[in-house]
Amino acid sequence: MKRFKDILCTVEPGKECKLALERAVTLAENNQANLTVITVAPSISAGIGMPEGGPTSTELQAATVNSHKQELENLVESYRQRIKVETRVLIGTPFLEIIREVLRNAHDLVIKCPESLDWLDRLFSSDDKHLLRKCPCPVWMVRPQTGESFDRILAAVDVDDSYPTKELKTRQALNEMVIELASSLAVSEFAELHVVHAWEATGEDIMRHGIMIQKPENEVNAYVYQVRRRHTQLLDTLIKEVSAKLGEDAADYIKPQLHMPKGSARKVIPELAKELQVDCIIMGTVARTGVAGLFMGNTAETILDQLECSVLAIKPPGFVTPVTFEE
């Protein structure tokens, strides 16, 4: 089962981040992991908008950092009775400093509440999207309205085997990571685990309605049946492989419910998440590796923009973040 060793929780003074912090503390306890809680203060440039005879930019920066530090300490004080918590105030652009903190200290999970508390006004602000795209470790965006525990968790995978060989291997590794992580979370939360794979029978519309190659109904149905059967076999194989890694007892306890909606992933996965009323969806956001600065795929980003639940987004092994320590 996946265990985290070094968790980073990022909070914003004045924002409703208590639930994200509570989840970080509980997860750190359950995993016997280190926990660091940070906040990012804005950088105050020298000489810009500074009144003559007033405080210097250095003084204002120090005062801002001290204010953030005090708010941060007040926020974590009650949790220190349960677990050791390190705190840190960083200065700069939030997503950059969060990722640099991950790189400096090898954190293996980032937990954050979204910038905008109006979830339907889009979970992902520009800063949150940058973090999801570029952070090398999993990022867990905790919806403020989520309950204290999760009842239903949805793992989204793509078992289609029609991709180029190199990309297919990466996707397979990512699928396994998604299921393993979702299984661990389901066990720790005593939650139902659902697994979804969206599939399409490419060419079905042309076979049914095409002018040049229209096929009889029975042939089209047979083709669609074979495509579905192939995808079902691939999903079953993935579940069996991950179950073997988890162990028989864990696999028997989890017993994931499998869903194979027919249609575009960007449409049917958000619909299923809403129908099941899932509390958290776990999915990969990048399908290729080795390219610094590679953004999320259009499908992943479209899905994420439609979700109203918490999101745990992961990258495949070998993902290279474009963020460096240089400005």
Per-residue confidence (pLDDT) for residue 306, from 0 to 100: 83
Task: Supply the range of the domain harboring residue 275.
Answer: 150-327
- The tokens 């280190």 sit on which residue? 34
Within this chain, do residues 97 and 198 fall inside the same structural domain, yes or no? no
Mean pLDDT of 231-245: 93
Residue 146 or 90, more confident = 90
What gap in Å lies between CA 58 and CA 44, rounded to an integer? 8
289 SS3 class: coil
- Supply angle C-alpha 282, 287, 292, rounded to 5: 115
**Pair 223, 201: CB distance under 8 Å:** yes
Residue 108: which CATH number?
3.40.50.620
pLDDT in tens, 154-200: 999 999 998 888 888 888 999 999 999 999 888 888 899 999 999 99
276 SS3 class: helix
Does residue 55 have a pLDDT over 70?
A: no
- At 63, list the tokens: 């005062």
Choose one of 90, 117, 148: the last residue of a domain: 148
Within this chain, do residues 118 and 188 fall inside the same structural domain, yes or no? no
Question: Is residue 204 classed exposed, middle or buried when 0-12, 13-18 and 19+ CB atoms within 10 A define those classes?
Answer: middle
Mean pLDDT of 260-283: 94
Within this chain, do residues 162 and 137 fall inside the same structural domain, yes or no? no
- At 282, list the tokens: 């776990």
Within this chain, do residues 221 and 310 fall inside the same structural domain, yes or no? yes
Encoded amino acid at 76, one letter: V
Helices (H), 121-203: 126-134, 165-189
Choose one of 148, 174, 189: the last residue of a domain: 148
Within this chain, do residues 80 and 157 fall inside the same structural domain, yes or no? no
Mark 18-50 as b/e (b = at least 16 C-beta within 10 Å). ebbbebbbbbbeebebbbbbbbbbeebeeeeee
**Pair 125, 313: CB distance under 8 Å:** no
Choose one of 115, 148, 181: the last residue of a domain: 148
Per-residue confidence (pLDDT) for residue 293, from 0 to 100: 36
Residue 133 CB partners (closer than 8 Å, separation 6+): 285, 286, 295, 296
pLDDT in tens, 297-307: 567 777 877 88
Mark 234-251 as b/e (b = at least 16 C-beta within 10 Å). bbeebbeebbeebeeeeb
Within this chain, do residues 178 and 75 fall inside the same structural domain, yes or no? no
Residue 203: which CATH number?
3.40.50.12370
Number of domains in the chain: 2
Does residue 288 have a pLDDT over 60?
A: no
pLDDT in tens, 82-110: 999 999 999 999 999 999 999 999 999 99
Within this chain, do residues 74 and 154 fall inside the same structural domain, yes or no? no
Within this chain, do residues 311 and 233 fall inside the same structural domain, yes or no? yes
Mean pLDDT of 16-30: 88
- Supply angle C-alpha 119, 125, 131, rounded to 5: 115
Within this chain, do residues 90 and 235 fall inside the same structural domain, yes or no? no
Residue 192 DSSP label: E
Within this chain, do residues 69 and 95 fall inside the same structural domain, yes or no? yes
pLDDT in tens, 45-54: 765 555 655 5
Per-residue confidence (pLDDT) for residue 76, from 0 to 100: 92
Within this chain, do residues 176 and 314 fall inside the same structural domain, yes or no? yes
**How remote is the C-alpha of 281 from its chain's centroid?**
8
CB atoms within 10 A of CB 69: 16
Determine which of 169-183, 202-216, 263-277 has the lowest per-residue pLDDT on average.
202-216
Within this chain, do residues 94 and 194 fall inside the same structural domain, yes or no? no
